[in-house]
Structure 1
Amino acid sequence: MQVKICGITTIKTAQAAVDAGADFIGFVFAASKRRVSKQQARAIAEIIPPKVKKVGVFVNETTEVIEEIAEHVGLDYVQLHGDETPELVESLKIPVIKAFQITSKGDLTKLDHYKCDYFLLDSPAGKYRGGNGEVFDWSLTRKLPALNGKLILAGGLHADNVSEAIAEVSPEAVDVSSGVETDGSKDEAKIYAFIQAAKSTREEG
């Protein structure tokens, strides 16, 4: 089971996530309390080993800005969390994770229109797109064989429910941000606990 720790804002937290076994580190370049500049992200990215993939999160950004930041930081993936069109996704030169807010079974039909490397299923948007700490109805994801190997599950995950989520949805990876925070800041102990819980689930199964 692969794990993405999103909303990283410091070198110290990034190093803790890497040491704990994270597979993806996420930087937010959209409106968020976890937003970082491309300069901050680049400084953090320099300590991340190549085996850990760097992801930039964008919301309704232009192709030019996405690609410029991706090159500056050295991103491996861009995660699009807004209303980006299938055409924009296909125009990008960098691998794409497209996020979708899931409120009903009908929301899943949108996935058919996109060609991307991963589909990220998240809870409905709150103040910001993503990182709101709410779960959605995981049973809606049943019978999604076309996503086999390309599904990332997000939305309200934490160390105490990630095993259940993995058992229900069978994602390729799980994504967490607020679920590994204490008082709005990343908590290294929670990061470690979450990664251990997620990775032990697949081993048991």
Structure 2
Amino acid sequence: MSKTMVKFCGNKSLEDYQASVKTDADYLGFVFTRSKRQVTPDQVAQWVGSVHPRNKRLVGIFVNQSKEFILHAVRTVPLDVVQCHGDEELTFIKDLKAESDVDIWKVIHHEDESTVNKLKPFLGTIDGFVVDKKVGNQYGGTGTSFNWGHIPLYDKVSCENDIPYLIAGGINVETLQELLPFSPQGIDLSSGIEENFAKSEEKMNLIERMVREHDKRTNTR
């Protein structure tokens, strides 16, 4: 039975983290780069120390940051996944993998149907990828989606290379109904699960219920 992966990202306070831990999400994300949701490795380490993440994997989001800082965050939290959300090159990612035992995800910023080709150099090195939309000089967290009609292009690459992927950008309770028919392997939400700039247990629970219902329908066809 296939299961759509769920990542709740942008946890920026102990309260956010506590709310996210209660859910059935597969991944919890923390932004360690300049952002309105930015946190520090020490902060997240304290939260994780006070409330165990249970069976959830912890993801650190980084944008064009030094290898030294990323490795510091990996050791401090500790993280399970490093998400390179900027313009990181293959050599940088190979160096990260050589010096850590965490999974490395690369974010691809979708522009058009040719964007999928930007994945090719990283295949065989990265452990997963996220497809997001870049708006201006913002690398993510804009609440803007790309043309989901191109998801099958990424799904094909995923299947051919046995590598997981998540779709990010503009996903919320309303738009999820438009996204799920494309059956992405995973979804990545941040602002779409917030109310008054705080993680909403009600929205997260509703998202999970919608995903479970979709998975049940898909697997019984």
TM-score between both structures, scaled by the size of structure 1 = 0.92
Displacement after TM superposition at 1:39 (Å): 1.1
Give the share of equivalent positions with the same residue, in percent.
Answer: 30
- 2: CA distance, partners of 1:199 / 1:191: 12
Alpha-carbon distance, 1:138 to partner: 1.0
Match of 1:69 in 2: 73
- State whether structure 2 residue 5 is matched by structure 1 residue 8: no
- 8 Å contact kept, 2:20–2:199: no
Calculate the aligned-residue CA RMSD, in Å: 1.6
Secondary structure at the aligned position of 1:48 is classed as coil
Instruction: Name the CA distance, whole Å, in 1 between partners of 2:106 and 2:173.
Output: 24
User: Which residue identity lines up with residue 200 of structure 1 in the other structure?
Assistant: E
CA contact (8 A) 1:31 1:128 kept: no
CA offsets, 1:6-61, max 9 Å, x none?
00022222222222211111010011000001111111222233410000000001
Q: Matches of 2:200 and 2:153 in 1, distance apart?
A: 35
Asked which structure has the greater CA Rg, the reply is 2
What amino acid is the match of 1:54?
Answer: L
Q: Which residue is equivalent to 1:39?
A: 42
Other-structure match for 2:61: 57
Q: What's the counterpart of residue 199 of structure 1?
A: 212
| Structure 2 unaligned regions, length at least 5 | none
User: What residue number does 2:29 align with?
Assistant: 26
Equivalent position of 2:157 in the other structure: 146
Please, which moves more after superposition, 16-25 or 27-36? Answer: 16-25
Partner of 1:156: 170
Query: Could you tell me which of 133, 142, 159 is aligned with 2:143?
Result: 133
Other structure's SS at 1:78 match: strand
Give the Cα–Cα distance (whole angstroms) in 2 for the partners of residues 87 and 171 of structure 1: 29
Residues in 2 aligned to 1:126 and 1:196: alpha-carbon distance in whole angstroms: 33
The amino acid of 2:197's aligned partner reads G
Question: Per-residue deviation at 1:183?
Answer: 3.0
Instruction: Output the TM-score relative to the length of structure 2.
Output: 0.86
Q: Which amino acid aligns with 1:86?
A: L
State the shift of 1:126 in Å: 4.4
The count of corresponding residues between Structure 1 and Structure 2 is 204
